[in-house]
Structures are given as structure tokens and as C-alpha cells.
Structure 1
């Protein structure tokens, strides 16, 4: 089982300190997990560009698409790559800039009370078993640390920003994810 430290990190997981975060508002309790997908360039995997993007060091000349995201300052708390490797960018007790304009259960600004996990992928390509297993393990550890984070409070980016976002997309199997999560309880 993954262990969370008092510093809001997963023990033994690489931590790359993204500047794209801030303190959570006073009294905010982590109570939502948001699943995202990302690939940079779109539809390509393993480039290292996601890391560079989350650390504000993306070379926009490397690909034409990068000009459209130049200047954006975003980061999820975690990235899970196609092999299931986890990289952490923001401690869980801090507010990562992953959700943008968002609303969950009539509460605006989901970044204030959520944890964002990016899966390396795209809406229409199946995710890998190692990704599902890593996501389930992380989710289990987070649920143990944050009691307000329940199974019912796990959603996709599309659920909190409908019409603006589509991830994790139809290729993400919620049933398979929940089956993997159930194996850990």
C-alpha cells in the first residue's frame, strides 16, 4: 500500500516541484478526486513534454500545438504514465491548478477542495492496466488520509467542467477502475 507523508507526498515517488499551485483557502478540506487525461503533443506518449509543461519549461518550438498552450500555468498533483509510473508535482495539502473553471455539487472552484490526477492518455485510446492499478492504489491511499474523499466523490474532469472538458473520455472504464479499487479494500 502506498504511504502518504506528513508533507503531502507519496513516499518513494519522484516529486518535481511545480510552481503551478498555491495554499488552499483556509478551512478547505480535500473531498474530491478528479481524473484527467493529457498527452503532449496530443495523441503522443512518452515525450517528457507533460513534465516540462507542468514545470513551465515547455519548449513551444518543439511542436506546432505547443503554441496554443504557451503561457498556460497548470499542474495536476500527480501524473500516471502509460507504464503506471507515478510522478508527483504538487503536495496534496496544496491547491494544484488542474480543474480551471469548475463546479461539483453546486460548489465552484474545485481546485480549492480537490486532488487532480492526470493519466497519460487521450479520450479515445484505452488506458493501460498499470495505469488503472496505480490510480486505484493512489486512490486507496488518499481515501485513507482524507475521510471526506469517498467513492462517490471521484469524478472526471468532464463532470466538473461539462461542455469545456471531455477527459478522461469514453476510453476510460469507470467499472474497471472501481473493480481495481475494490481489490484493495
Structure 2
């Protein structure tokens, strides 16, 4: 933590050379994409995409789970998606699963999460709708096991389908204002693959 604090302490001084860029950020935001991914510390959207400040509107949840639309209780995830699409007018959504995912691994293994009831409830909400059949990632190798990589890919596809059920997403896609992609990121290689609906496989970008 000391290293992180030291970096933050000197951040203002190091940004002096980019003063005009940061002044523009103060006027508002117009991100290119909503990037939905896992809370895992090894997954860094700006590192993967090269995005700068203002480029990505991020939603991070355990297991990159997108709650089903229509829950009567307010949810931060739903509000974030709706705000990105209806207020900010993002043109792209990316759902990005990743290798070595602890959340999906817990689902696959059926881990006992009685000591973490909030985590258990969150994951159980995702479990019933896991798709069946392989996603067939062409060439991906996951050191945690190919079965887990395949499960992560199928899980990410389910989240994409849930997004399409959101009225704001469905309407924007039907109007041609919004695209939706599902990615798979390998934390141990840096490889990024995108799902190709025509072949049903994950292929290099």
C-alpha cells in the first residue's frame, strides 16, 4: 500500500505536463465503450486496451456477472449499464471474462461458500443460466485447466445474453447505435479473444 500511496501523492505533479487533457476531462465525459469485467485485480481494462482517462466506462463485479433485468430492488450494476447506454450514449459494450477466474471456478467446483454468504448468493444468482455446450475457444490454453477456460467463456456469453434483455441495450442495438462483444482474456499470456457468433468460437482479435 505504501507504494500505491506514494504514487498517488505525486500524481498531481506528474500530470502537470498533461494539464490541458485533464482540464477537458473536467468538462464532462464521452466514453467509447462500457467495459464489463471481473473485479479480479489481475484484469486491468486500461492495460489490456490502452485506454486513457475518459475512454472506458467500467463495470466490475465478482465474476463479471450481469444481473438479470427486472429486479424490483435498485441495483448499482443495472443503473451503471442504463446510465452508460441512455445517458452517456456509449457505442460499444464489451463483456470480458478471464482465465483463472475464482468466481466461475467456485461455480464449477461447487465450493462451500457458507462462510461468505453474500458471495454465495451473488454466484448462485448466476448459476442457473449457465449455457450448456462448449464455447470452443480456438487455441486457448489455460494453466488452470481447459475446462475452467471453457466454463468462463460460456459464462461470459450468458452475461452477454442477459445484457441483450435490457431494454436500453436492446433498443440501442436494434437502432444500430450499439454493438456488443464478448471477450476472453488470458491473464498468464495477455492474449485476448473475441467470440465470433458465425462460428461459435473465440478467436484472436
Q: Normalising by the residue count of structure 1, what TM-score does the alignment of the two structures yield?
A: 0.33
Q: Normalising by the residue count of structure 2, what TM-score does the alignment of the two structures yield?
A: 0.31
Which structure would you say has the larger Rg? 2
Higher relative contact order (CA 8 A, sep 6+): 1
Point out the structure with the larger helix share: 2
